[in-house]
Amino acid sequence: MEYFLQQLINGLTLGAIYGLIAIGYTMVYGIIRMINFAHGEIYMLGAFISLIAFLVSTLLGGTSVAFGLLAALVSTMVLTALYGWAVERVAYRPLRNAPKLAPLISAIGMSIVLQNFSQLTQGARVKPLPPLFKGGIELMHGETFSVNLSYLQMTIMALTVALMVVFTWVITRTSLGRAQRATEQDMKMAALLGVNTDRIISATFVMGATLASVAGLMVTLYYGVIDFYIGFLAGIKAFTAAVLGGIGSLPGAMLGGLLIGLIEAFWSGYFSIEYKDVAAFSILVLVLLFRPTGLLGRPEVEKI
Amino acid sequence: MSTLPLLDVEHVTMRFGGLFAVNDLSFTAQPKAITAVIGPNGAGKTTLFNCITGFYKPQIGRMTLNHADGPVLLERLDDYDIAAKARVARTFQNIRLFARMSVLENLIVAQHHKLMRASAFSLAGLLGLSRYSKAEKLAVDKARHWLDRVGLLDLADEDAGSLPYGSQRRLEIARAMCTDPVLLCLDEPAAGLNPKESLELNSLLTGIRDEMGIGLLLIEHDMSVVMEISDWVVVLDYGSKIAEGAPALIKDDPAVIHAYLGEPDESEA
């Protein structure tokens, strides 16, 4: 029981991170019907930028963890958002009216470019970050095993919930969110009503990148090691999460992320840690075979 | 300045391969008037609308929209500027509402351009500044005004896609009006309406013309509607203009009758 509870906490933490990345996939898919395969790399850049931000704030003599975290959070979000914007501007916008395969290939190219960019500029070695958060609370004390919820896990979950609230509010209540939903449903019509759809698409990439950057920051803190290649696996897993939840559905992306995180945690806890990726990707295959619309997705109705 | 037409279409040609969908077409539309564009199927009416609203860029010709503060060349604008700068709005033959948004939201999206300015691209909205909430309130007021006009105020919070067909048509017109157009292009607004709805539509359109003082451009197959409400009729056939004039004159124009009904049979002649 104690062991189960611990894996549940670990799985939810991991799931929160996957969910934040998955939202970027699902939003971009919703609006331009394209899988942004460079999104995992955006998350990786977020992790690197946050690492640099932590080191810089320590160098400048910042001793307060809260201040360091806030500074890193803000700078990571802003800088990664710029990367997200630039990727769309350079690699996808020129191909807006091209056949569907072209932007997909461009996305894979962009992903390789960004990986190599950080390998060249930051080096190929694994980068460590000493743990900033120590301690936690002991929820339950068993005979052989005690259940811990670390302060870092709490921070990750609280930050995810806060971001989801802000994000949901932007989508449902603001003018920008309304225009995004309109563009998603009928881009040409939205343009005819005076919505600058190119700008809305840019905003979508910026929002997706911002959420992914926070996921990158969390991973840097949580695992304490990052390298230039982490975007690949995390990206594919978040993509799996988006498909599981129903690609195009925002609550679906978060739900899918949590499920993938839980499956991975329980699989590693009870079966085999080496095969945890197999579990996640088997889910992708099963969902695509038996429920291609995902858990919360809408079936695509072909207009005749 | 008052002699300038609202819309001046000059020598517009839109070609798809070897097909001239619109061929050297010139006509004008006046403000405070309903100009009907009629013609048999395939005459190029919808293609003309697609040119005016930026879907297509005509290969030849010029389309000038004369605002109070100067002319705007439609063929040079990006699609979103057709609504935002030129202030031309349009409805579609096959209704294109945002089906999964509420009726009210459909009308507020139409005011996006103004709202984005007021909200400094949503930053002010995020920070909850009063400037934004004021602009948002104005937008909602305008939306409710038009919902009231088309008799859909009770359904403001329904999904637009769940409305019956006739209501969707009226909602699309209300949405177009929320963009504050100076020219409203309606592509077969009476199609699929029953006689009662069709009469209501007539009074809605003439009401918009008389109260808002804007120009309306109307594609319509229902001749009773055309004869009843339009002030000027342009007749197209095979992409070219074959006649134009007041509705009463057009009805008896031999070229028009020929285009619609074909050559009279030799034996009957």
Which residue would you say has higher pLDDT here, A65 or B240?
B240
Is the residue at A154 inside a domain? yes
ipTM score: 0.85
**pLDDT given at position A211:** 95
pLDDT band at B120 (very low <50, low <70, confident <90, very high): low
Is the residue at B214 inside a domain? yes
Of A183, A192, A296, which to mutate for an interface test with B (greatest number of B Cβ within 10 Å)?
A192
- The whole domain housing B203 covers 1-87+181-269
Is the residue at A99 inside a domain? yes
**pTM confidence score:** 0.89
Same domain, yes or no: B210 and B139? no
Of B167, B200, B223, the residue at which a domain comes to its end is B167
- Picking from A32-41, A194-203, A291-300, B29-38, which range would have the lowest pLDDT averaged per residue? A291-300
- The whole domain housing A187 covers 2-290
B positions 36-55 inside 8 Å of A (CB)? 53-55
Of B138, B167, B196, the residue at which a domain comes to its end is B167
Is the residue at B192 inside a domain? yes
Number of structural domains in chain A: 1
Query: What is the Cα–Cα distance from A193 to A198, expressed in whole angstroms?
Result: 14
B35 beta partners: B217, B232
Q: Which of A141-155, B170-184, B255-269 is predicted most confidently? A: B170-184
Residue B124 has pLDDT above 80, yes or no: no
Residues of B in contact with A181 (CB under 8 A): 98, 100-101, 105
What is the number of other CB atoms lying within 10 angstroms of the CB of residue B238? Answer: 16
Same domain, yes or no: B159 and B241? no
Query: What is the Cα–Cα distance from B17 to B19, expressed in whole angstroms?
Result: 6
Is the residue at B249 inside a domain? yes
Residues of B in contact with A196 (CB under 8 A): 80, 84, 113
CA atoms within 13 A on the CB side of B155: 21
In this complex, which of A186, A192, A197 lies closest to B82 when CB atoms are compared? A192
Q: Between chains, do B55 and A188 touch, taking CB under 8 Å as contact?
A: yes
A194 touches chain B (CB under 8 A): yes
Same domain, yes or no: B129 and B232? no
In this complex, which of A170, A186, A192 lies closest to B79 when CB atoms are compared? A192
Is the residue at B173 inside a domain? no
Q: Which helix (H) or strand (E) holds B65?
A: strand B60-67
- Residues A128, A220: contact at Cβ < 8 Å? no
**pLDDT given at position A137:** 83
- Residues A253, A174: contact at Cβ < 8 Å? no
Same domain, yes or no: B5 and B71? yes
**pLDDT given at position A11:** 94
Is the residue at B127 inside a domain? yes
Residues of B in contact with A185 (CB under 8 A): 98-101
Query: What is the Cα–Cα distance from B35 to B37, expressed in whole angstroms?
Result: 7
Q: Between chains, do B98 and A196 touch, taking CB under 8 Å as contact?
A: no
Is the residue at B175 inside a domain? no
Å between B73 CA and nearest CA of chain A: 16
B positions 172-201 inside 8 Å of A (CB)? 175, 179
What is the number of other CB atoms lying within 10 angstroms of the CB of residue B214? Answer: 19
